[in-house]
Amino acid sequence: MADNITIPIPIPVTDDPKHVHNGDRVRWQATSKSDIHFANTPFRQAGGPETIPVPAGGFSNWGVVAGLPNPYPYTVAVGATASDPSIIVDP
């Protein structure tokens, strides 16, 4: 059964990396406007770059996990700071 997963920004250390499965729905929640940057996105089978905007005080759109079982590091840009967490797609 697919899960709905909301990842808060800033990302708690205990939540990195976030393990997901294909079919899970993932979104980010932020108090400040943020951008999620993937060099290789887990939300398309073909991968490739993707930027997901997160509005201030809100949520990003849902993304449905469709990637191969791999880690998918991403950058969270919030103002002048950035962090490098990961989503790991489990088989």
pLDDT in tens, 24-38: 999 999 999 999 999
Residues 6+ positions from 72 with CB-CB distance below 8 Å: 38, 40, 41, 42, 86, 87, 88, 89
| Residue 10, domain extent | 4-89
Residues in the chain predicted with pLDDT less than 70, given as ranges, are 13, 15-16, 78-83
Domains in the chain, number: 1
Residues paired with residue 47 on neighbouring β-strands, in sequence order: none
24, 25, 42, 81 from 19: Cα distances, Å: 10, 12, 12, 24
Give the pTM: 0.87
CATH number at residue 57: 2.60.40.420
Contacts of residue 1, Cβ cutoff 8 Å, sequence gap at least 6: none
* CA–CA distance, 55 with 69 (Å, rounded to integer): 29
What is the predicted pLDDT for the residue at 15? 67
- What integer pLDDT is reported at residue 76 of this predicted model? 87
pLDDT at residue 83 in the model:
66
For 50, 58, 71, the CA distances from 16, given in Å and listed in that order, are: 20, 21, 11
